[in-house]
Every structure is written in structure tokens, then in C-alpha cells.
Amino acid sequence: MVNEKLIQLLNTKGVLNFDTTDATFIVFNAIKKLLGQFPSKVKSEGCIDSRIKILFNDRGMFEAELKLADDVIVFILHTNAFVFESGNPLMKTSYVENNSANATCGMISIYNFQSDSFKYDRKNDIGVLIARMFVNKEAHFFVEGKKQLGVLFNDYSKMIASPENLSLLIESCIVHCLEVDVVIPPVVAMKQIYLYEAQSYNLQSSLAANNRLGFKFQKESDDVTDI
């Protein structure tokens, strides 16, 4: 006879994980739809310099990107469900305490790259995590991020993944990326390159863009800290 505890876990945690990842997938597709509409939306609402290109690229089921000016913003859907550590402040909110299932979330990571990194295939260039979006089975969400990204979307109990809220998230990510400049690396970081790089690649590909985008997520910590 199959262990009753095993059956119980399959029907609770197993189902919860599926419900959560399914809800996150729906939200991700809603984000992709809004990203796809963004280029025409901008062009219809105001004049921009003809040199500025705004392009959406659907990279499959789990990735999407928006290129605008010098930036590329990449949205990545993770396929697993996650649970927050007991010490996370969200675990102490009434929304989670009243229903522990609300602590299980899917995750969408948002990265910023320089557009020339893709254009010139500069494989050494770094993309920086600017936000992490967490979605539960009820399509409630909150965002960990820097500045406005970590302020506008932190009311987990009330923040629903509506088109209006998702549009605000997308536009907030864009504003954050456009406001942050590329920082010149110190000379000691660029004083040498390897011979094989000079022989095998365009030299630009060996000079990684150091895009200082304002914060990083510390390993083994949920804190968001300045670089």
C-alpha cells in the first residue's frame, strides 16, 4: 500500500507547484504581449529620433527581449516553483500567514544588457539582474529590485498581475535602464588582453562593457545592495 503521506504531498505540494508555475506562465505570456505592443505604442504617442530603434524579440516559451536605444532588456521565465525562507519578511505578512500556499511563487528574472553586446557578439559582456518578479497561484506578485522597482510592487497581498500593473512594471524597468549610464572600467581592468582574443576575434569582443546598473543580489541573501 502506498504511503498516505506521499499521496497527501502529491495532492497538496505537487498540485500547488503546478498551479503556481501555470499561473506564472500565464503572467509571462501577458508580459510578452505587452512587450510586443510597446514599439508601436511609443511610436503612436510621440516623436522619437529616427536613429532610435525599438524592437521586440520573442525568444521562445521562456525568454523575451525588448531592444531600445542602447539597451536590451531580457525577461526570463524560470520553470520551477520556489518557497521563501522562514526569515523573509513576507512570511510574516497576514497574506501568507493566513494561507501558507501564498508563499510558493514562480519567478521571472529581468536582465539588462547593452545592445551592442548582441550586435557585435561580445560574449564577454555582462548582463545585470535589475529585478526579480515573484508570482503565486492567485496571480499576486511582488518585485525585488532597485529604487522604484522595489517600491512600486511590494504590496504582495494587493498587487495583481493586471495589464495595467504589468505595463507599469515594464515601463519602470525601461526607465531604470535608460537612466543608468555605462561606467568606464578602471584602467587596471583593461590593461591587457589575451593573444588568442586578438587573433581570433574582433578586438571589441574582448573589451567587455562594464554596465554598472545600480545593484546586485548577494549570494545566500535576499538583500538588495549597491554595487
Beta strands 104-114 and 128-135, pairing class: antiparallel
Q: In the numeric block, which cell numbers belong to residue 70?
A: 542602447
Tens-place pLDDT, residues 21-40: 999 999 999 999 999 999 99
Determine the Cα–Cα distance for residues 21 and 153; give it in Å rounded to an integer. Answer: 20
Whole-number pLDDT of residue 185: 67
Give the bridge partners for 140, in sequence order. Answer: 160
Q: In the numeric block, which cell numbers belong to residue 111?
A: 536582465
- Degrees, nearest 5: CA angle 181-111-101: 135
Q: Phi and psi (nearest 5°) for 108?
A: -120, 120
Residue that is written with C-alpha cell 512594471 in the block = 169
Tens-place pLDDT, residues 71-115: 999 999 999 999 988 888 889 899 999 999 999 999 999 999 988
Percentage with pLDDT > 70 across the chain: 81
- How confident is the prediction for the chain on average, in pLDDT? 83
Whole-structure pTM value: 0.81
Determine the Cα–Cα distance for residues 183 and 177; give it in Å rounded to an integer. Answer: 13
